[in-house]
Every structure is written in structure tokens, then in C-alpha cells.
Structure 1
């Protein structure tokens, strides 16, 4: 009896050890998502693509060097207070705690900016957030990767310059800035003022209150001011409303240039014919023919395990942007494991190192099935942005068509503004910037 009891106890202990070992080989990623509210449709595509990519890595590769990816969503409704609640709820989950926080909201980014440093959790803000956080010497825990808002605005002005026949032709022109009246929308002001000063054009700022489904007064103002181009710095229902109202007031949609949060199927399709000819920036492209998307279809959707209820949205702009989030997150885990141990889950501090040493060159992107899908990306201690370039696409009434190669920002101007703003922040907060020459 004692022998049998000992065997049972031994088996139970062995089972606990095995299950404990298995649990330790998981990398937890907290997802502060939004699938309800005025931006729910956008969030569903973004988080759907991100989750599908992680599910594909688990199914096809068995995780990252044997470490399975696990995740949990927390609904923010794109609300700052709820975003902070989700941050607190997720931060201690998983065997090593939440390894990265990506709120997909500029407002939530600002709300937890100081918390992530205290808790040693890297915050990755791909294509959004606080632009001057691109200076990693001052913001070591924040990564506004791929392209910041200031780089995007500069690239848009460069694109308008080519349409006008040269940057010198911008002198004396008027460029309207129809912006979402939030932290996100106001992120555009400083750079547009600086670009207007440099190139001699007038910037006309017109605010649209959240959520933006009424814009008669704004477009009446635009009609009176007669700008040569309008930059649509919108989000959610604001974008389709802007295109429909522009059509009613007779403003040509091919003179409306959208930011990347205005250039998705969710923006164009609801606008109907009013969207035809509309041009928007993007740091990723639409399409389901890329090998990475085909791998998701083969390893996830063919097994009825996909996150998207509407499978037609697989390969859309925002879905593919979610896949970009997945690629960058997974490759940061892989990079961190190279230094801290393959087959081990990474802590927040180790993940920070992984993000800061990320190098997605053309060869690596091709190996991931994402050549041309997103720009090459190299992050360093000093530069937490990387690429700083976008492609422009035009809506033909049914789909997006890429109309340019990668268009770069005015890097000297943008980087100078980033460093000046980051230095002012460091002085205000009493921060001693890192010496990045010692981090190499």
C-alpha cells in the first residue's frame, strides 16, 4: 500500500514538474484590443491579423524555438481609462509577465508612458503614439517603430510636392489639415507647421470632434479656404464621412491625401463612389497573395482556426497591418532568444533588448514571406523608429492599388525635431539620456 501510494505521489509530482515546465515554455502577450465602439471594425481587423500570425507561428513552427505564443485580449473600447485598466490587468500575466504592451491608441500610449518604464515592459507603438519617443536615449522603453507621425506627414508633403511638379512648387500653396481632435490628430501640428515654414506653403488646420460623423461645417470652411490639397488625418467613421462630404461639396477626392489610419477598406467601402480616386499613405500594403498571408490561410484558416469572422477581410490593409505587428513581435522574441537563450520565454527587459536590436532587412523579410509587404526595419539604441518611409495607394472603387515605391520623409528635419523635443522632455522630467555609444 505504501509502495503504491509513493508511486502515485511520485507520479503526481512528476506531472506537476512536467506541466510546470510546459507552462514555463510560453511567451505571454497581452492584447489591449478594441472590438466594440466607433473603432471596433478597425480593431477587429488589426487584432485579427496579429492573432492569426501568432496562431500560424504556433501551428507551423511550434512557436519560437519551441516557445509557444499565448495571449489574452482586454477590451479598451479605444478609451484611455480602460486602456490603463487593461495595462494593469495584463502586466503580471504569463510565466514572465506581459512581455510587450501595444495599445494601438495614441491616447492610451500617453496614459501609460511612465508606467512601462517603472514596470520594465516595452511599449511598441507601430505607426502611432508619441513621435519624439523615437529617441531611444530618452525613451528606452518606447518604440514608435516603422514610421512615426512626423515622418508620415513629411512623406505626404513630399508626395504632394512630386504631384505639384517639385518641392519648390509648394511655395504659396494651401494645404488643408482635417484632423481628428484628439492626441492622435494633434500629433500632426508641430511637423506641419515646420514643413510649411520650410517650403513656403500655408497649412490650414480644421478640427473634427470624435467620432466625426458630422462634418458639414468643416467642409464648408474648406470650400471657402480653397486649399490645393487636404490631408485627411482621420480615424474610424470620420474618414468615410469626410470622403462623402467632400464629394457633396465638390472637392476632388484625388486631392485628398489620407494618413495610414484613413487608408483601409473600412474607410473606403462605406464611402461608396465618393472614395474613388482617394489616395492614402501606408507602411504596409493590401493583398492576400503574399507568402506570409498564404501561410496563415494554410495553417490557420484551412483548419477552421482563424480569428476573422469575415474571411474576405484577410489580406485587407488593416488585417495585414496586424500581421506586421505579429512579425515584429515574433522577430523581437527570436532576437532576444539569440542573446538570452533559445527555447526560453523572455522577460520584459529581455524583450526590450530584442526590440532595440531588431534587424528586418530585405533578406529576412523575404524569408518571412513579407518582401514588399512592409519596409525593411533596423532599430538601435538611438533610433527607435527605423524605416521612416511609406507607400501611397489609390482606391479604384473596389480595391487599393499601390501607386508609388517607398517614399521617404525629410529625415534631417524630422530627426532634428525628435531630438529637440526629446531633450526638452528629458529636461522637464529630470532624465539623464543614455549614452548610446556604450550600448552598441
Structure 2
């Protein structure tokens, strides 16, 4: 028994596994490499997202014995949200024993760019939910990249759509002035093409104002905003720059109710440090906060009640970042189910099989309700040409203690966004000498 305990301790020290004990080691296992970030300036996002994802896999192992009897196992690699470390983790996680990693999801646009051209050669799908290059939604050019739920371009369009609703119609945006406060890194600039086209379409003006990373000094920017006197501020920031923005806005007299953020600025960790300055702030979300979802309650009952939860602070279960991670886990597990249905139940799938499953994944409202995730995420339907699958975003407002939903799922301007996606993807294909797939020939 002492030897057995020592062996298990050694395994736990080297890697984080979803299946524990010798019995699980003898069963079929599905390996996943997770490039997480639990330290550094963006640790709040990393611990929440990857904690929620891991807890969902623990739930599937506990409640169902895995996916069709295949236990879920995983190994983490700390990236610190650093691009170079992320690429190192990609290489380190590519294989575990004789199993290939079947999905790489760094939850970082920079790391996504860093491995972008590696995944086709290694045949490992790149999952970039809500991040990365928006033109990768065109699966004809980017067959191994999946910017699912809502790309930055769809998110930007949904934000403008939400502002149009607040004004009483999109035509009411004509003549409005909108300041775009962005963190000066790749994700902060990604929404610009859509915002520029929508400004031209609806007649509003934008002024883009950069914040140097990490964003803990913004006095000059908010003085510029006060002089500009905009109708709204769109906040494209992350980490410490979010509460800094809200506190500085309050000091300069700009109301939080007129600030609308993207999904990187809409977590509890973004508003609680800002105190009263955050009350009324609105942010986009495609995995809203809350514990009223059946799947979150199952995690509380079957994982945390047994002391097996990944979060050091169980109070974060149901938070925005955490629920976002559960959404990642749902997509991963549902794709595994679909791959097994096509390629054989009861055995691990390959990266190529996972790619097929992601491309054919459909999660309608009926299926979301069946897995306890109704309202936790929008319905999805991917295809050979469409690797986004939704584009919908809903908005929630901070009331001082919790996030409150203030909209239904808002559709992006699909025609405008898709035309931009295809235009950009075609330019990339021409530059790289890529012949786009003919989706009519894909099964």
C-alpha cells in the first residue's frame, strides 16, 4: 500500500489527471493537453476558465465514467499567458505516451498566433473560442482552426447591435460619438475592421485610444475621453486594465452605464476591485455568470461536495470565467461523443477525428437542455465553411454585487461580418498559396 501511494503521489506531482487510481489506468483513456495560465497578470482568467473546464471533465468522469467508458485525462502546462512559453507548451503537450493531443486551446490570442501554422502539420485542432484571428471562421481556408461561438468581429458587431437596441434602433446611432479604449496588443486591435465598417454603415464616429500594457495607468486616456464627450465608450481591455478603466472613468466623471465591454472585461475580477465605480457597467458574454444552470449545480453536487473541485475558492464556481471554462469543456466532450459515434465508441479519438467532429458539431437548444446548459451558451451549428457556428452574444450588467442579464442573444451583422471574413481569408490564402477546400465535396 505504501508503494501504491508513493506511485500515485508521483503521478499527481507530475501531471493533473481526470482519472485517478489503478482501475482508471487500465481503462481506455482520452488524453488532452491543457496550456493553462494560473500565474501572472491574467491569472484570474486562466484559473477560472481552466478550472471550469477541468471540473466539467471531472463531472463527466464521475457521473458517466467518461465518454462511452473512455476516461478523460489531462495534463496542464503553465504558459503565464506568455507567447513563447505557450509555443513551448504546445510542443510539450503534443503527445502523452502513445496518444496524440487532440485539441489545443490556449485561451490567448498571442499563443494562438504562435502555433497557428503548426497545427495543420501536426493535425491538432486549434480551439480559439472568442479569440484569435476572426477570418479563421472560414473553414475552407483554415480547416484546423475553430474560433467558435463568437469571433472578435462578431463580438464587435454584437456590441454595436446592443448599443442600437439601447438607442431604440440602429438608425439612432447616426451622429453618435463612440470612444474605443483598447489595450495595445493584438486582441485589442482585432475588432477595428468591423467597427470601422459599421461606423460607415450607420453613421456614427469612433476615436480609438490605446492603453499601454498592462494598463494600470489610464489618466491621460480618460482625460482625452472627457474632452471628446462621447456618447459611449467601448472597452477592449483585459486583466488589471479593466478595474483601472472603471475607477479612472469614475474619477473623470464618465458614467459606468455608458461603458460597454467585450467578453474579456466582463468578469467578477474586472468589477469587484473597482468597487462602486463599476456599478452599471455592461459587458458582453457568451457564457453568462450564475449557478442556476443545471450543469453547474451538478458540478457542485458531484465534484465539490466530494472535495474534488479544481478551484481553490469554491465561491468562484458560477462566476463568468468559470462558466466560460465549463462551456469549453462542453464543446470538447460533445465533440468527443460525436467523433466516437462516427469512428467507434469506447476508444480514444485522434486529432483528425476530433477535427471532423468539431466541423460537424451541432448543439441545438434541445441538446443544451439535456446536458444542463440551456442559457449557459448559445446554440451552435458548425460546418466545413463556418468554423464559428454562432456569433451570438448577450450582455450583462454589474449591479454592484452580481451580473444581471440585460439582453437576449444578439445576432451580429452576419452579412457584413461574413463578407469581411471571406475577404480576409481569401487574401491570406493568396499570400500563402493555399487552395481553399471545396466544401461541396466534404462529408
Q: Per the shorter chain, which TM-score range?
A: over 0.9
Matched residue, 1:8:
none
The 5 Å alignment of 1:2-13 reads none
- Contact persistence 1:27–1:95 (CA under 8 A): no
Matched residue, 1:79:
82
Which deviates more from structure 2 when the two are superposed, residues 116-125 or residues 23-32? 23-32
Shift of 1:96: 2.4
* Match 2:230 to one of 227, 232, 235: 227
Matched residue, 1:45:
48
Residue 375 of structure 2 corresponds to residue 372 of structure 1: yes
SS in 1 for 2:375: coil
2:429 and 2:27 mapped to 1: Cα distance? 38
2:366 and 2:99 mapped to 1: Cα distance? 31
Matched residue, 1:359:
362
Matched residue, 2:275:
272
Residue 206 of structure 2 corresponds to residue 207 of structure 1: no
- Contact persistence 2:272–2:278 (CA under 8 A): yes
Residue 301 of structure 2 corresponds to residue 298 of structure 1: yes
Matched residue, 2:12:
none
RMSD: 1.3
Shift of 1:352: 0.4
Matched residue, 1:106:
109
* Cα deviation digits, residues 198-246 of structure 1 (max 9, x gap): 1111111011111111100111111111111000011111100000000
1:42 and 1:94 mapped to 2: Cα distance? 30
Residue 334 of structure 2 corresponds to residue 331 of structure 1: yes
Matched residue, 1:343:
346
1:157 and 1:20 mapped to 2: Cα distance? 53
- Contact persistence 2:24–2:71 (CA under 8 A): no
Shift of 1:95: 3.6
* Cα deviation digits, residues 341-375 of structure 1 (max 9, x gap): 00110111111011111110011000100011110
TM-score (structure 1 length as normaliser): 0.94
1:166 and 1:353 mapped to 2: Cα distance? 40
2:379 and 2:149 mapped to 1: Cα distance? 8
Matched residue, 1:61:
64
* Match 1:124 to one of 92, 106, 127: 127
1:35 and 1:109 mapped to 2: Cα distance? 18
- Contact persistence 1:284–1:320 (CA under 8 A): yes
2:171 and 2:241 mapped to 1: Cα distance? 32
2:237 and 2:429 mapped to 1: Cα distance? 30
* Match 2:386 to one of 383, 386, 391: 383
Residue 193 of structure 2 corresponds to residue 167 of structure 1: no
The 5 Å alignment of 1:390-401 reads 390-401=393-404
Matched residue, 2:11:
none
The 5 Å alignment of 1:131-210 reads 131-210=134-213
Shift of 1:321: 0.3
Matched residue, 2:252:
249
**Larger Rg, first or second structure (1 or 2):** 1
* Cα deviation digits, residues 8-56 of structure 1 (max 9, x gap): xxxxxxxxxxx99956711111110101110011211111100000011
2:265 and 2:437 mapped to 1: Cα distance? 36
Gaps of 5+ in 2: 1-21
* Match 2:100 to one of 92, 97, 110: 97
Which deviates more from structure 2 when the two are superposed, residues 385-394 or residues 91-100? 91-100
SS in 2 for 1:407: coil
- Contact persistence 2:164–2:170 (CA under 8 A): yes
- Contact persistence 1:96–1:346 (CA under 8 A): no
* Cα deviation digits, residues 279-298 of structure 1 (max 9, x gap): 11100111112110111111
1:94 and 1:370 mapped to 2: Cα distance? 33
1:57 and 1:21 mapped to 2: Cα distance? 14
- Contact persistence 1:121–1:348 (CA under 8 A): yes
- Contact persistence 1:23–1:95 (CA under 8 A): no
Matched residue, 2:262:
259
* Cα deviation digits, residues 39-96 of structure 1 (max 9, x gap): 0112111111000000110011000001111111111110100000000000122542
- Contact persistence 1:282–1:391 (CA under 8 A): yes
Shift of 1:165: 2.1
* Cα deviation digits, residues 295-347 of structure 1 (max 9, x gap): 11111111100000101000001100000000000001111001110011011
Inter-CA distance 78–369: structure 2 relative to 1 (3 Å threshold): same
Gaps of 5+ in 1: 1-18
The 5 Å alignment of 1:18-37 reads 25-37=28-40
Q: How many residues align?
A: 422
